[in-house]
Structure 1
Amino acid sequence: MIKNIDEYLIEIEKDIEKVYEISNNLISFKKTTKEIKKSIIQDWKDKNIDDNQKVKCLSTLKESYKQYLKIFDKKSKDNLIDLNQQYNQYVDTYNKDKKPLKKKIPVKGMKILGISLVPLMMLLALCISYLCVNKINLTNQNSIIAFSLSMLILVVCLIFLVFIIIFSTKKSVLDYKNKSYICASIGFTASFFDTLGIGSFATNTGLLKATKSLKDDKKLPGTLNIGMAIPNLFSGVLFMTSVSVDLTTLITFVLSAIIGSLIGSSIVNKINKKLIAIIMGVVLAITSILMLLTVKGIEVFPSGSAMGVSDVWWKLFLGCLAFVFLGIMMSFGVGLYAPAMAVISFLGINFLVVFPIMTCSAGLTMHINGYKFYFKNNYMPKTSFFMTIGGIIGVLTSYTIVFLGLITLLKIDQTLITDVFKWLSVFVIAYSSYTLFRSYFKQRKVVISAVPKISYNIDYLDFNNYINSFYTNTFVKNI
């Protein structure tokens, strides 16, 4: 039976609600299982159960958990298959008698677009970088190492792209109402300015809200991490070939930021976010003033010209500590770019060196976080996909204008470009400080009520029946 457009939309909305219902139930299921496990261990410590009961109950809990996890997985996959079938039928019906530019892109079309356009843009950018801007010297050891690292990072980008194309596009119907060209334009704009060191978080957030593409603020971090991961990291590949940087400094600082982000993700719920916001706000406010004193035209303090600090051990050590701290701050929602600019400047390093360091650090961290957001369904799949498409084009455009157009063809002095970027960075850091202060005062108004401790009334005499009945009635029955 052929349905009309409205009937398809009703079915699609119902299926979308079901997807999120299953996803939310799965999260609750995992959390509850951990709580039950803790309760069993606590009862054993309180000597309410003996060793044999503890071992038997934990074993039963583990087996039941695996069994019901498979049920969730099957229901989730089946529901997503039904949803995509409904959406594809809706797209086919909608596209009838529509002009080519007004037709909606089906899921298969998105996959073709991603697998063809993104690698093509990458190849074009690499050709500009290696053949025009900074020709690779295969007789120089540093050039060979830099090229090898660039190719390794490029492989990471392509693996994530394949992941998005195979898995994430299947969920693109979840935010099907967002227009493709708007999402791509947002990605283009954010990545264009991101490549200039202005940062993409504020740009993306403002544009997503201005275009009413963001309906749920909780999905913002996931959308930005997945949507900007590839453009951000790929710009790092281009900067590694275009900006002279000490490789030891680059690698150690990037690894430090990644280690910091992993530490931060494990402690993010244990530290007061208001305290972090006010401390970083003050630090960046002071930093912006100090940075202002180093820019062209003021120059109270001299700016650095070193390509790295691997020859000064204490500077390298301090830099690593600073980037571990910045990586931790990323887990609390503090952007990396502004404070990274300050750290590089204060270490006496040439300001342009910050670009490959901060783009690689932020990009790799986004890749790690992106997988987490995907499995939690806590992002907008279609929006992030087209932000990636637009973002790659934005990186290519911005890089071509600055490094090919201004520096290579027009022969504009690189120090002049650096001076412009330093002036921009002062405003970026000052604005970042303002947003952190604003975040602090907003959080002060939020009163979080205490979460009551749940008692599960565990039946240890017939634990197998208890846990299966509990899982079925609490999580599975209604999905």
Structure 2
Amino acid sequence: MRKEDIKVNEEEAQLLLSSQEHKKKFARWMLFFSIAMVATVISILINYLVFFPWQNPGKVIWQGEQLIAFIICIFLLLSAVVFSIIYFWFTLKVKHDDINQKEKAILAIGFTGGFTDTIGVGSFGVITGLLKGTKAIKDDTKLPGTLNVALGVSALIESALFVGSIQVNIATLLILVIAIICGTFVGSLFVSKIKDQTSIKIIMGVALFFVAILMILTHPQVNVISTSNIGDKTSLMDKPWRIIVGTIVFFFLGMIQSFGIGLYAPAMATLSFLGLQQEVVFPIMACGSALCMLPAAHTFIKRKKYLQQTSNLIMISAIFGVVCSFLLIFVGLQMGAGMDKRTFDIVLKWLAIAVIFYVSISMLVEFYLIKKRQKINKGE
């Protein structure tokens, strides 16, 4: 063995916690996670015992697609629990490299990211901006890993809440999610081979800007272009061309995820143009995003390219953000404010348009800033 290898092994050994310290930290973080899961279970119970019967009078969850949706919901929740237990057990054996973080600020950032992700704004851009704005992250190379590790669990919980509460054709859900996963795998093979990935940002930024304008024209309150008679509002399976187009587009969206392009905005636009209700978009894009995030998180953990303490804090607080957003927006507006299905869909469509404009402008601004930095560096 070389001297360099011996030195690295000694340094790693110094970072390891004693068995007692490890178990103490594991118990502490699992307590926090358990509290977050209690909040999640309460929201699931509110959905199935209160919201579901109110929204679907006469229907029961143990028949047909409702039963399959319930099984998927439980599977997603169990996946979140299993991943978290394994994650905390193994990662807490090592001392955190960001122990001096501002915990309250990070918790607030995680909550905000979970909340905005649930309403379709996304979390990566929001959390990145807040982390940089508060100077909570100094090493940008660990930012992608931190985000993937921190938000995978809350994305699974978000998916479970949506699948359990929003009526969507299960075949449509599974086909589109598989298309996203396959696209992400294929896209990951090309990431390192494309030298100028910023060009993808400007193409998507411009495309989404025009897509948002088209969505305004197709909005029910504008109705210059009508999409209301395309087909089933909760399924793409009624007409072969709808599911074929949806599968192809979602495979492409999975590919561009590998280049740091968010899934939510283009997914909202695609399914809106294909004639689905706006709320049906949420379980599809949440499941696709969550199931792509976990393999990426594993890779970053293995390579130690993430901030441990920051990831842990965001992971827990993002769950509370997801639960609060779901209860306030998806349950509160309909049950509490008495908003009917059509009005709620109209509100979600305007929200989707705002999100797409936001993502488009963010991409164009990011592209401009990258090019500006490149010019400055060349001048030096």
Distance 2:183 2:4 in 1: 31
Residue 181 of structure 1: how far off its partner (Å): 2.2
* Matched position secondary structure for 1:185: helix
Matches within 5 A, 1:251-400: 251-271=174-194, 272-304=196-228, 306-400=233-327
User: Does the CA-based 8 Å contact 1:121-1:393 persist in structure 2?
Assistant: yes
Matched, 1:156 2:79: yes
Instruction: Classify 1:108/1:248 alpha carbon distance in 2 versus 1 (closer, same or farther; 3 Å).
Output: closer
* Matched position secondary structure for 2:218: coil
Matched, 1:121 2:48: no
Distance 1:184 1:303 in 2: 41
The partner residue of 1:80 within 9, 15, 25 is 15
The partner residue of 1:165 within 78, 88, 112 is 88
Instruction: Classify 1:171/1:334 alpha carbon distance in 2 versus 1 (closer, same or farther; 3 Å).
Output: farther
Residue identity matched to 2:188: S
Matched, 1:131 2:23: no
Matched, 1:228 2:151: yes
Residue 274 of structure 1: how far off its partner (Å): 2.6
Q: Deviations over 1:260-305 (max 9, x none)?
A: 1111111101123133122212211111110111224322122446
Aligned equivalent of 2:56: none
* Matched position secondary structure for 1:390: helix
The partner residue of 1:411 within 318, 328, 338 is 338
Aligned equivalent of 1:249: 172
Distance 2:94 2:106 in 1: 16
Aligned equivalent of 1:203: 126
* Matched position secondary structure for 2:234: coil
Matched, 1:186 2:112: no
Distance 1:313 1:247 in 2: 16
TM-score by length of 1: 0.70
Distance 1:414 1:68 in 2: 68
User: Does the CA-based 8 Å contact 1:126-1:238 persist in structure 2?
Assistant: yes
Distance 2:80 2:128 in 1: 23
> Sequence identity, in percent?
35
Q: Deviations over 1:179-229 (max 9, x none)?
A: 222212111111112111111122111211222111111211111111111
Residue 119 of structure 1: how far off its partner (Å): 2.5
Residue identity matched to 1:122: T
Residue 384 of structure 1: how far off its partner (Å): 1.1
Distance 1:69 1:114 in 2: 39
User: Does the CA-based 8 Å contact 2:152-2:290 persist in structure 1?
Assistant: yes
User: Does the CA-based 8 Å contact 1:309-1:316 persist in structure 2?
Assistant: yes
Residue identity matched to 1:133: F
Instruction: Classify 1:384/1:172 alpha carbon distance in 2 versus 1 (closer, same or farther; 3 Å).
Output: farther
- Structure with the larger RCO, 1 or 2 (CA within 8 Å, 6+ apart): 2
* Unaligned residue ranges in structure 1 (runs of 5+): 1-63, 89-105, 450-479
Instruction: Classify 1:302/1:131 alpha carbon distance in 2 versus 1 (closer, same or farther; 3 Å).
Output: same
* Unaligned residue ranges in structure 2 (runs of 5+): 54-58
User: Does the CA-based 8 Å contact 2:233-2:275 persist in structure 1?
Assistant: yes
Residue 68 of structure 1: how far off its partner (Å): 11
Following TM superposition, the consecutive aligned residue runs of length 4 or more in structure 1 with deviations greater than 4 angstroms are 67-77
Residue 69 of structure 1: how far off its partner (Å): 12
Instruction: Classify 1:325/1:69 alpha carbon distance in 2 versus 1 (closer, same or farther; 3 Å).
Output: farther
Distance 2:224 2:273 in 1: 13
Instruction: Classify 1:144/1:284 alpha carbon distance in 2 versus 1 (closer, same or farther; 3 Å).
Output: same
Distance 2:10 2:193 in 1: 34
Instruction: Classify 1:373/1:439 alpha carbon distance in 2 versus 1 (closer, same or farther; 3 Å).
Output: same
User: Does the CA-based 8 Å contact 2:15-2:95 persist in structure 1?
Assistant: no
Residue identity matched to 2:298: Y
* Matched position secondary structure for 2:202: helix
Number of matched pairs: 363
Residue 109 of structure 1: how far off its partner (Å): 5.6
Instruction: Classify 1:181/1:303 alpha carbon distance in 2 versus 1 (closer, same or farther; 3 Å).
Output: farther
* Root mean square deviation, CA, Å: 2.6
The partner residue of 1:107 within 9, 22, 25 is 25
Distance 2:4 2:114 in 1: 39
Distance 2:337 2:364 in 1: 41
Aligned equivalent of 1:43: none
Distance 1:417 1:277 in 2: 31
Distance 2:186 2:330 in 1: 36
Larger radius of gyration: 1
Distance 2:262 2:295 in 1: 16
Residue 108 of structure 1: how far off its partner (Å): 4.4
Residue 79 of structure 1: how far off its partner (Å): 2.8
User: Does the CA-based 8 Å contact 2:111-2:319 persist in structure 1?
Assistant: yes
Residue 124 of structure 1: how far off its partner (Å): 1.5
Residue 167 of structure 1: how far off its partner (Å): 2.1
Q: Deviations over 1:12-66 (max 9, x none)?
A: xxxxxxxxxxxxxxxxxxxxxxxxxxxxxxxxxxxxxxxxxxxxxxxxxxxx9xx
